[in-house]
Amino acid sequence: MNKGLCIWLMGLSASGKTTLARLLAQELDRRGIQVEVLDGDQVRSNLSQDLGFTRSDRETNLRRIGLVTRLLVRHGAVVVVAAICPYKNIRQELRGEIGELVEVYLDCPLEVCIRRDPKGLYRRALAGEIGHFTGLDDPFEVPSRPEILIRTDQENPQDSLHRILAVLEARRILPAPSDLPLP
């Protein structure tokens, strides 16, 4: 069986999580790695329809993602999670729960996220139509020691992808270049 692992892409809305998750999943799939993407928005629509965006509801949602991830990792899957994950206490909990976890913090200035706003959510939040919005009226507690820190306003997604792949090689999830047979 493969060795399971979770790669958690965390950061503000519009920081680039879903884009990078797709790129990463495609590349792992191409290399024959069993991968599962858990996207925050999708999870909300099936496991957490009942939950809103208060701190307590967000925590419950993240714990549910954590539970599913733990089960999958235990059975050898590589799980790519794309979810904001704004609170320190929950990140600590998840690390304890999941075990094999690579935290990837997609750092992107709030003003850049507001300019990108692909789903129009910031516009609605700034107009007062959505409350508890991370980065505006709900906090994002910056990860203090992520395994990978990506400035998505400065680095292109292909470069970010290769930095994540390098960590997976170091952890022997992917064969390191030196493991490959000589030509």
Residues engaged in binding its own copies (CB under 8 A): 1-2, 34, 36, 46-47, 49-51, 60, 63-64, 67-68, 71-72, 74-77
Taking the complex as a whole, the smallest distance from the CB of residue 180 to its own copies amounts, in Å, to 22
DSSP 4: P
Q: How far is CA 127 from the centre of its chain?
A: 27
Quote the tokens at residue 24.
């990463």
Taking the complex as a whole, the smallest distance from the CB of residue 126 to its own copies amounts, in Å, to 30
Taking the complex as a whole, the smallest distance from the CB of residue 123 to its own copies amounts, in Å, to 30
76 or 131, CB closer to its own copies?
76
34 or 157, CB closer to its own copies?
34
Among all chains, which residue has been given the structure tokens 């729960």?
97
44 or 143, CB closer to its own copies?
44
Taking the complex as a whole, the smallest distance from the CB of residue 63 to its own copies amounts, in Å, to 7
51 or 130, CB closer to its own copies?
51
72 or 84, CB closer to its own copies?
72
Of 103, 109, 100, nearest in space to 69 by CA: 100
Q: Are 146 and 152 in contact (CB under 8 A)?
A: no
Q: 123-156 burial, b for 16+ CB within 10 Å, e for fewer?
A: eebeeeeeeebbbbebebeebeebbbebebbeee
Taking the complex as a whole, the smallest distance from the CB of residue 27 to its own copies amounts, in Å, to 18
Q: Are 22 and 38 in contact (CB under 8 A)?
A: no
Among all chains, which residue has been given the structure tokens 């470069």?
159
